[in-house]
Every structure is written in C-alpha cells, then in structure tokens.
C-alpha cells in the first residue's frame, strides 16, 4: 500500500452529511483499500448509479495522464468529473513526457500543486508508484502493465448487481494486469475464482500469494474446461495487449484452446465478462459477444459509476 499524504490544498466539498473519506490516499492497486473500504466504494457507486447519491465536487480538477490511448478510461473519467461538477484535464503523450525531459518525481511534485487529483494510464507500474509517492494529491492508477484496479471496481459492482454473495468466476486466458487486479479484488470480496492460463502466461506468484493473504487465493489450472465447470461467470481479456504486438504470433499459438466460444459454454448458463476492447475471433467469438450471456456492457457502464464513487471517497475530508 502507498504511504498516506497530507494534501496542501482543499479538494472540494462533498454533499452535506457525507461521511469522512476512505483512509487510502492513493489508489495504485485494489488492495490499497481495505475490504470494508472497497465495499463502501461499491455501495456509493451503486447509489450514484441509482441517483440516490448527489455528492458534488465543486472546483475540483482531475489531471489525466495518458501514455496509452483509451476509449473507456478517458470518457468515463472525463464524464464522471463533469457530472460531479469538476473538471478533467487530458494530458496525452504529446502533451507531457513522463520521465523524459525532467525526472518523473519533479513532474509529480508540480502536478500536485496544480490539480486536486491525478489519474495515470501508463506502461510501467513503477511510474504510478512514483507519481503517488511524490504528488501531494491522491493518485489513481488508470492502468499499468501490472494492475488495472479501476476495472476491478467496475467488475465487482457488476457482479454485485447480478448475483448474490455466492458467485464463482473463471478467469480464462492471459494472466495479465486486469486478471491480477481482479483476483485480488475478488479475494477481498469473498468471491471464488479459478484461473486458467497457459503455463507460460500465468499470473505472478506474488499476486496469488497476496490473494491468499487477503482471504481467498484462486484455484490455478491450465485447463479452461476445468475452470469453467460450475462457474457462474467466465471472464476473459485480450491475449495480445497494447505494446505486445511483436509477440502476437507466439501468443496466439500459446492460447490455442483458451477461446471463450460456444463450445466451451455449451450446456451451461454461464455469464460472460470482458473488460474491452475485445478482439473478436481471438479470445472470444463474435457470437458470444452478441449473446444474452454477456455482462460486458454493464461492466463498461460501471466504470463511470465506480470511478465517480472512488474520486468522491478519496477527496472527502
């Protein structure tokens, strides 16, 4: 977890009677929250989605740092800040060179004097860690090569909407950043997960161990059919992530048999999750994506509500 910091500027006002914010100052990975704080963010997100929480953040600026392009991350954060009464500032790779031209810690220090909160979507996870250490304001990990905790918030909100407390999920495919954050968040939420990946693309041992320490380590296998047996939900993601294009042919060969398709789902009522964008015909078929099994569009919408709730909680006094 990141160290706490004392912001030197007021972060805005929440609605009258709003309780104090969560204890975490930064959101670098999902377990920067305690399980109770995680549930609190999810409950606020659900209330915001139902228009039962009118929290507002007046005169608050979110600085959005993008090394990687994105549809959902940019639109959900920017729209969320507008709905909260604040402002989002997009800083793309042509606007700001993270770690180039000046040390990243200097950029972080300056940003912390200008904006009230930072969201960074980067390649190197250590860049988010550095931003969180040196920026004198909360920092949110919008995605790094190691973690995607904002997606996990949306995933858990989606599962909370569609299932009771007794739900099991099969993660099938690459043991990537999305999967790793989801396994940790699921452990915190008491959700049973089975992970099926090719041996060469397994999740990091440290992530599996952290999940166990958080309460519930996933079952690990290399057989997708074993993973999906009895699962309520199957979750997959792209096999070839941004920046891995030179590995494409090798990865496609390694993931043969891991596609979420009609054959794998036959005879089950299993729902399907995907964080998008989907490479239809690779990790998932077009037919599955267009079926009534998918919770994908709820996941995508819930990025907006979950991130609004997170921002309010991080900035609450």
Active-site residue, 137 included: no
Q: Is 152 annotated as a binding residue?
A: no
248 is catalytic: no
Whether 241 has a binding-site annotation, put simply, is yes
Does the annotation list 71 as a binding residue? yes
* CA–CA distance, 24 with 31 (Å, rounded to integer): 10
Is 38 flagged in the annotation as binding?
A: no
Q: Which two tokens stand for residue 122?
A: 């980067």
Annotated binding-site residue? 148? yes
**Is 177 annotated as ligand-binding?**
yes
Q: Which of 237, 274, 293, 305 does the annotation list as catalytic? A: 237
Residues 6+ apart with CB under 8 A from 310: 27, 41, 45, 140, 150, 153
The answer to whether residues 195 and 206 touch, using CB atoms and an 8 Å cutoff, is no
CA distance 280 to 291: 13
Residue 39, annotated as binding a ligand: no
20 is in an annotated binding site: no
Q: 44, 74, 121, 293: which one is catalytic?
A: 121
Query: Which position has the token pair 């997170």?
Result: 310
d(CA 170, CA 271): 10
Q: What is the Cα–Cα distance from 188 to 129, expressed in whole angstroms?
A: 22
The answer to whether residue 26 is catalytic is: no
Q: Is 56 annotated as a binding residue?
A: no
Q: Check whether 137 is labelled as a binding-site residue.
A: no
Does 87 appear as a known binding residue? Answer: no
For residue 221, say whether it is annotated as part of any ligand binding site.
no
Is residue 205 a known part of a binding site?
no
CA distance 183 to 176: 11
- Of the residues 148, 274, 293, 305, only one is catalytic, namely 148
Spatial separation of the C-alpha atoms in residues 35 and 215, rounded to whole Å: 10
Q: Which two tokens stand for residue 278?
A: 């989907």
On whether 150 is known to bind a ligand per the annotation, the reply is yes
Which candidate in 145, 303, 305, 307 is catalytic?
303
Angle (CA) 260-261-263 rounded to 5° is 120
| Residue 276 annotated as binding site | yes
Cα–Cα distance measured from residue 135 to residue 306, given in angstroms and rounded to the nearest whole number: 23
Q: Which of the following is catalytic: 29, 127, 275, 307?
A: 275
Catalytic-residue membership of 275: yes
Name the active-site residue from 26, 32, 146, 151. 151
Strands in 168-172's sheet, in edge-to-edge order, are 219-221, 192-196, 168-172, 233-236, 271-274
Write out the catalytic residue numbers: 121, 148, 151, 237, 275, 303
Q: Which residues are annotated as a binding site for carbamoyl phosphate?
A: 70-73, 97, 121, 148-151, 275-276, 303
Q: Which residues are annotated as a binding site?
A: 70-73, 97, 121, 148-151, 177, 237, 241-242, 275-276, 303
Q: Which residues are annotated as a binding site for L-ornithine?
A: 177, 237, 241-242
């Amino acid at each position: 977890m990141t160290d706490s910091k004392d912001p030197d500027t007021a972060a805005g006002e929440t609605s009258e009677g709003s309780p104090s914010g969560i204890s975490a100052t930064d959101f670098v990975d999902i377990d920067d929250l305690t399980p109770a704080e995680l549930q609190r963010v999810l409950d606020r997100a659900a209330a915001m989605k139902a228009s039962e929480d009118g929290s507002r953040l007046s005169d608050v600026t979110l600085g959005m740092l993008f090394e990687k392009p994105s549809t959902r991350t940019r639109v959900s954060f920017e729209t969320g800040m507008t709905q909260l009464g604040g402002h989002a500032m997009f800083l793309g790779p042509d606007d700001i060179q993270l770690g180039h031209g000046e040390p990243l810690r200097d950029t972080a220090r300056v940003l912390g004097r200008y904006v009230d909160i930072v969201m960074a979507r980067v390649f190197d996870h250590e860049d988010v860690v550095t931003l969180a250490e040196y920026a004198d304001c909360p920092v949110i990990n919008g995605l790094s090569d190691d973690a995607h905790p904002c997606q996990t918030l949306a995933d858990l909100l989606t599962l909370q909407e569609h299932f009771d407390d007794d739900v099991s999920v099969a993660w099938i495919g690459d043991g990537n950043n999305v999967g790793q954050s989801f396994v940790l968040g699921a452990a915190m939420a008491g959700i049973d997960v089975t992970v099926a990946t090719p041996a060469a693309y397994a999740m990091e041992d440290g992530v599996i161990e952290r999940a166990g320490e958080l309460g519930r380590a996933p079952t690990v296998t290399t057989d997708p059919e074993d993973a999906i047996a009895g699962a309520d939900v199957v979750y997959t993601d792209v096999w070839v992530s941004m920046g891995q294009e030179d590995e494409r042919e090798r990865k496609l060969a390694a993931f043969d048999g891991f596609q979420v398709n009609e054959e794998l789902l036959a005879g089950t009522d299993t729902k399907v999750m995907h964080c998008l964008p989907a490479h239809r015909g690779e990790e998932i078929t077009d037919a599955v994506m267009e079926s009534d099994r998918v919770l994908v569009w709820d996941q995508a919408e819930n990025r907006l509500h979950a991130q609004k709730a997170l921002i309010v909680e991080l900035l609450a006094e």
